[in-house]
Amino acid sequence: MTLQEIADGCWNIANIAADAGADDLRNRALEIGDTASEQDKEAGDSVSPSLCAIIEMDFERLEKDAEDHGVI
């Protein structure tokens, strides 16, 4: 999964969470999405694999939390 795909997924979750009134989840999604997008734009292919792994793990936790809260 690319950083841009993660950012897009986060922003989708943020929109759904906003509609559901889940502000904490929305804020986390925006934060992770913004971080992924910034790293993608700033570093491109030179983003460290460990940073990519951390961002992807954050996204996976976000998805699980969104599912647990019935948002997605």
What Å distances lie between residue 69 and 22, 26, 30, 54, CA to CA?
9, 12, 17, 22
Q: How many Å apart are CA 65 and CA 40, to the nearest integer? A: 24
Supply the pTM of this predicted model: 0.91
Do 34 and 8 form a contact (C-beta atoms < 8 A)? no
**What does the pLDDT read at residue 31?**
98
Query: What is the tens place of the pLDDT at every residue in 16-68?
Result: 999 999 999 999 999 999 999 999 998 877 888 999 999 999 999 999 999 99
